[in-house]
Each structure stands twice: as structure tokens, then as C-alpha cells.
Structure 1
């Protein structure tokens, strides 16, 4: 079981939860979240995501990642304008944050 912030992921059963609520993720959505959560706190490049999640050795557009990321953010309750779970690091990649940056 991988737990980061309020998200739990069970790689063996391929199930995910936010708090006590189960989240239905597609295969690629799960793989994307798993890759990011497994490397929480570290930047994962788009090249790594394409290689490890989509098993592609070359690509010309990041639209695939962006579309799936949008779906994942909605399902996880992460606001794309002010994300607290998955942060886009311009020119470098994505990072699943270890701790919430939200201020109460």
C-alpha cells in the first residue's frame, strides 16, 4: 500500500482511495498515479511517464499525458489551477507532493 497525503493506492489490487472513498481509475490513470506516488516528492519527467506508463520509446505530443492528468486530478479532487497533490514543474515534469501546501 502506498499512502501520500490523503491518497492510498494498492498496487496489488489496483485500487485507490481518497480518505475513505474509493476512486475508480482506468488502467492508464492508475499507472500514472502509481508512477507519480512511487516517486513522491521527486520530479518525474514526461519522457519517463511515456516510457513507463505508455511503454512508448518516442512521442511527439504531451497531450496524452495532459488529458490523463486532467482526468486524474478531477478524480483525486486536485484543483488544476492550484494543485496540492500533483504539481507541474514547467520544463521538467510532474511531482506528486509529499505534503499539502494548502494553508487553512
Structure 2
């Protein structure tokens, strides 16, 4: 599997490339946003490590472009310390995860492996179509159909929807969802879960303030319910 590393700092690229290749992956590199997009469109990467601050097109713009052109390659975004709004914006645009600089090379590899494990697991469940309320979920297409209309998702949005639907009726804590969907075996940031739940509600709920499908269980987490019950 090949990983695309996108960063304009040569020292960081060298560090990432050494550790990612040491973990058994092939790598490719790009030093700016435009080259990253060209390479992502031309090649089939397993994952993209994408720095937020890039010359020309920044990481957010690259992420937005790829997702709007139906490129669902998983994205691990690198952000500056304290750039909270940028982190959230990246997740909203379809990034799968983020790491804050400075980071441990071991953590980068751990995050890459976590994302790829989830991707592989979902691909292995392609035949398990789920139906809840008037939503039918098709894992093989990363898609759901509601009232005859197709709804498309980013990869991580879909994984969260699929997991909630598989465990419909159960209250799932943010930590449970973080472990199950993001496959973290270390302490993560549960705001990632909240951002993705919000995005899902925008796509499947009629009224996001009074959701019928994804309920917030105060102090506990979230629960998927059949809207027809």
C-alpha cells in the first residue's frame, strides 16, 4: 500500500517518509496543494497524510476539492497546535482524522494503521445491507437511500452511520464510538465523534434540532433509533 505525504517542510517529509516506510508502506510525496491534487487524481493511494499549511492551495482546500470530486481516499490531516477551528473544519470537509504538530512519528503510524483497519473491516462487510426506518444502507457503495433518494457520505461519516445502525437501540458512548469507528487504542479527542454526528444529522434528519434517528443521550452518548417505532 502506498501513502501520499503532503507537506512543504522537507525535514517533516523526510521524518514521515522514513517512519512510514519503516512500518512497511510505500510512499509518495508532494510539497504543495496543487501537486497533491494531481497525484491523488492520478494514483490510487491507501491514505493521504495532508498538512494544513501549504503554499498555493492549503490542506483544507485540497480536502474539499478531493471530496467534492468523489475521491474518498482516507485523509490524516496535520494541524498546528491550537488551531481548533481548522481541525473541526477539516473534519467537516471530510478528513478522517487529525494530528497536532509537533507529533510523534509512532503516533502517525498508529493513526494510519487505525484508519486502514477500519477501511478494511468495512470492505469485508460489503454484503451486509442494513435498513432502519426509511433508510437503507449499502456498505459496498458507502451510500444510503432514504425515500428513494441517494445520500452520499465521506468514508468516516459512513462508517459511523453503519456502526450506529448495526447497534440500533443501544446507547453508545463517545469513547465507544471513537474506539469502534476510529479504532483508537489510545486516548483520542471525542469531539471528532460530535462533528461527524452533526454531519450525519444534516444528511439524514428532517429537523437536526429534533432528530428522529440519531438521539443524544445526555451524559452518556448517542443512540440510533428506528424513526417508525
The interval holding the TM-score normalised by the smaller chain is 0.7 to 0.9
Q: Per-residue CA shift, 1:6-47, capped at 9, x if unaligned?
A: 111012332211110000100000000000000111112211
CA distance in structure 2 between the aligned counterparts of 1:71 and 1:15, rounded to whole angstroms:
14
Query: TM-score, structure 1 length as denominator?
Result: 0.86
Q: Does 1:43 align with 2:171?
A: yes
Which residue number in structure 1 is paired with residue 193 of structure 2?
A: 65
Answer with 1 or 2: which has the greater Rg. Answer: 2
Gaps of 5+ in 1: none
Which residue number in structure 1 is paired with residue 154 of structure 2?
A: 26
Which sits farther off after the overlay, 38-47 or 19-28?
Answer: 38-47
Which residue number in structure 2 is paired with residue 13 of structure 1?
A: 141
Of structures 1 and 2, the one with the larger relative CO (CA 8 A, separation 6+) is 1
Q: Per-residue CA shift, 1:48-97, capped at 9, x if unaligned?
A: 21111111123353211111111110011242321111001112211111
Q: CA RMSD in A?
A: 1.6
Greater helix share, 1 or 2? Answer: 2
Deviating runs (4+, > 6 A) in structure 1? none
Are 1:43 and 1:89, in contact at CA under 8 Å, matched by a contact in 2?
yes
Gaps of 5+ in 2: 1-128
